[in-house]
Structure 1
């Protein structure tokens, strides 16, 4: 990112001279004749510094500083002062200004102050970025639960794709949590302030599908007694989630393609085009390329929807997540029913880890609820061939390490004592299971260890 300087002075000759000095040093310079001209350029994410004369019509240096404290108190302000304004400049320093330069000043003096202020600004912006990353990571880990490498990779992909505007196709089996992933893409995007709009394509009868998606005018068809806003129009400026997209009728696929391409739609019974700004997130169980080959899905629409693809691994492929997820869902069920969640016996945990979970997370939610209510959990389901005893033991070991790191807040020495493991063995096991100490440190600080 190019270092930027906003220079404010009401004298044209000084603005021209300063612009030339700073641009020769490789800086991007915005010159303004007044504070009011400069304010629209200033924001919390401005990647530079301000240099301003103290005495100007309409707003002096102290007034500018007061405004900056409300916009971003970490934005450096360098004041340029005449001899009679030194006392005012000192007062400004006490109130948070970065530096002041007395007139007349040399290019070297100005450039030295600007460069130091830019170094400070870069450090502030980098620290903010890191704090935001940590906050987002912590938030998404509370939304997309799991300690497996597959879930860690999925969370990272969601955080990378969420700020973009690209359409995303989510692939996953029934009950794997496709809508939750779609909501995460929306929640961590710039569109998060607007409502997330979801539609299950398999749940809408074909004869009302077009009206549901595109809306209709009053009298557009028999029974259309009033105007109706469709899901696409309702999602203007937001995210539209189309679940089970493979169930969308071919006739509506053509119309959806046109909306995506032209960013506009027409309600049923209307000839007026309505501009829409939306991001389409879709989800499918089957391979849509196979649906294309069978003539059930349009290839051109698939290309528009599948700019990026996310795959949710089935629960049987991430068994190390089962104990954590079960504990979470059991706690929610206990709160909902106003009762305690009974502790799991080792045999019950073994049964959970061995179960094939054809219904994925949705089935696990049901099992947790039944456990809280004192009903039986899944039993008798054959263990998948690839889930050997060694595999089940690996999953249970990963869960034990996760719980210990969580309980000890990332303190390796405490985990070693708790699990009675030497440091080398613990490090090897953490590396094998993809567990990072940094993920368990308490917020706002780190535990120092030798």
Structure 2
């Protein structure tokens, strides 16, 4: 941000006038002096004499920055930071501390406090820290109303809980900090990750997502980091991994909690060195990637059980954003249901106008253990089966009794069965194509075409020490 010269708030540029700072200190003289200094620089300033009064201000208007003394009556500044960080993890906090509390302030900085200043502080140093914190917290330029909505267009919500989350996401998107997205399965972690990418300076670069639990362990390293020709059986060409595919942009590591321990070590090295070494390569390749990760698992419990590396956790978890379950944002259920219904009505070519009042009530009071994904599946089922413009209660009740049901076309169901059948055959024969084709009563050429159709590589199913098949795809 450009440096600011002291000027009356009324004559200062509009950019700082929109930036509100909350000052917290029980020393009235210090509070008045600091408030005057910030107001003269063009900032809007709100003051509070205690942590409790500061938190009450959040119900009125949320600031873009909090500056707090460590020593406060009642809850101290560190406790205030913990409360703010739990609710608004991307909101920067600056602590003012006397020399005796410097160790506490240093510890708080490690936990996420933006910075701390010792009293008496240098005015120019304070203003530099304020500008740096606000530069991290806010976009460089005020977005248009259309841009405000475009970045989160896929996320349908009117709940206060989601509004707070999206405000935090919008704020932290401007930085390059790693973000850990927590939430139950089906809450929309990948949608939020895409929204963060669109709101970031990397928006014009690639967004790449990988589900760490969906790729077999023996393939995940190659998928992430790439491989060179001849690195292993079936490596018939050079392959750029997902890190290189996301260069300049954002990489989402979904279900990071399911990443195998051996690969966690290699991922940590990549994050530290900002370079990947493809499997079989002798040289590393530099990458510039912003990392978002997501999981429904309790990573702290996984660390305690030795299943997840602590150093990797802290590398990924610079900022944490927690997605609420659908049951925690019930005011969004009717909005989401109608949004899905209209989209699916176009897909199925049906003229549907909405849900009956009784049907909406049933949707609004259901348990939703599968969250938004389950709601989508329920709406898709009732959309496919409805014969009237208004979806009746009976169809909703029927769909809720089988909440995990997924409506597949016959072609999709055949595809899914065929792939599962081929995988089972390859497992049974340790990847021996001749034996698998014989069991399927198909000639080898036709069988190879089926494997190619479903992107299956026989070598991945071979047991160690087994003989190589004499035919390659």
TM-score by length of 2: 0.53
Question: Closer, same or farther in 2 for the Cα pair 1:160/1:245, shift >3 Å?
Answer: same
Separation in 2, partners of 1:26, 1:363: 55
Deviation of the 1:141 alpha carbon: 5.0
User: Which of 296, 319, 324 is 1:285 aligned to?
Assistant: 296
User: Which of 146, 151, 166 is 2:177 aligned to?
Assistant: 166
Matched, 1:143 2:151: no
User: Which of 245, 249, 257 is 1:238 aligned to?
Assistant: 249
Aligned to 2:446: none
| 1:291-302 aligned within 5 A | 291-302=302-313
User: Which of 215, 219, 222 is 2:230 aligned to?
Assistant: 219
Q: Is the 8 A contact 2:206 2:247 kept in 1?
A: no
Separation in 1, partners of 2:356, 2:370: 23
Aligned to 1:303: 314
Deviation of the 1:137 alpha carbon: 2.8
Deviation of the 1:366 alpha carbon: 1.3
User: Which of 345, 348, 365 is 1:337 aligned to?
Assistant: 348
Matched, 1:184 2:203: no
Larger Rg, first or second structure (1 or 2)? 1
Aligned to 2:371: 360
Deviation of the 1:337 alpha carbon: 1.4
SS of residue paired to 1:281: strand
Aligned to 2:209: 198
Matched, 1:328 2:339: yes
Q: Which structure 2 residue ranges, 5 or more long, are not aligned?
A: 8-15, 17-137, 387-394, 402-473
Deviation of the 1:136 alpha carbon: 3.3
Separation in 1, partners of 2:155, 2:172: 15
Question: Closer, same or farther in 2 for the Cα pair 1:140/1:152, shift >3 Å?
Answer: farther
Question: Closer, same or farther in 2 for the Cα pair 1:180/1:284, shift >3 Å?
Answer: same
Deviations 1:192-230 (A, max 9, x none): 111211100011101111111111111111111111001
Question: Closer, same or farther in 2 for the Cα pair 1:342/1:289, shift >3 Å?
Answer: same
SS of residue paired to 2:253: strand
Separation in 2, partners of 1:380, 1:324: 18
Q: What number of residue pairs does the alignment pair up?
A: 264
Matched, 1:253 2:274: no
Aligned to 2:280: 269
User: Which of 229, 232, 253 is 2:240 aligned to?
Assistant: 229
Question: Closer, same or farther in 2 for the Cα pair 1:3/1:203, shift >3 Å?
Answer: closer
Question: Closer, same or farther in 2 for the Cα pair 1:26/1:286, shift >3 Å?
Answer: closer
Q: Is the 8 A contact 2:378 2:399 kept in 1?
A: no
Aligned to 2:420: none
Question: Closer, same or farther in 2 for the Cα pair 1:206/1:3, shift >3 Å?
Answer: closer
Aligned to 1:316: 327
Deviations 1:79-106 (A, max 9, x none): xxxxxxxxxxxxxxxxxxxxxxxxxxxx
Question: Closer, same or farther in 2 for the Cα pair 1:265/1:367, shift >3 Å?
Answer: same
Deviation of the 1:142 alpha carbon: 2.7
Aligned to 2:102: none
Cα RMSD between the aligned structures? Answer: 2.5
Deviation of the 1:133 alpha carbon: 5.3
Aligned to 1:31: none
Question: Closer, same or farther in 2 for the Cα pair 1:330/1:380, shift >3 Å?
Answer: closer
Question: Closer, same or farther in 2 for the Cα pair 1:141/1:204, shift >3 Å?
Answer: closer
Q: Is the 8 A contact 2:327 2:367 kept in 1?
A: yes
Separation in 2, partners of 1:364, 1:246: 25
Separation in 1, partners of 2:6, 2:304: 55
SS of residue paired to 2:232: coil
Separation in 2, partners of 1:140, 1:325: 18
Deviation of the 1:134 alpha carbon: 2.8
Matched, 1:351 2:362: yes
Separation in 1, partners of 2:280, 2:210: 22
Q: Is the 8 A contact 1:351 1:379 kept in 2?
A: no
Separation in 1, partners of 2:362, 2:151: 29
Deviation of the 1:138 alpha carbon: 2.2
Separation in 1, partners of 2:168, 2:269: 28
Separation in 2, partners of 1:349, 1:162: 35
Question: Closer, same or farther in 2 for the Cα pair 1:262/1:152, shift >3 Å?
Answer: same
TM-score by length of 1: 0.55
Deviation of the 1:143 alpha carbon: 2.4
Separation in 1, partners of 2:271, 2:152: 32
Deviations 1:351-384 (A, max 9, x none): 00110111111111112222222352245969xx
| 1:361-440 aligned within 5 A | 361-375=372-386, 376-378=395-397
Deviation of the 1:322 alpha carbon: 0.5
Deviations 1:173-193 (A, max 9, x none): 111111000101111111111
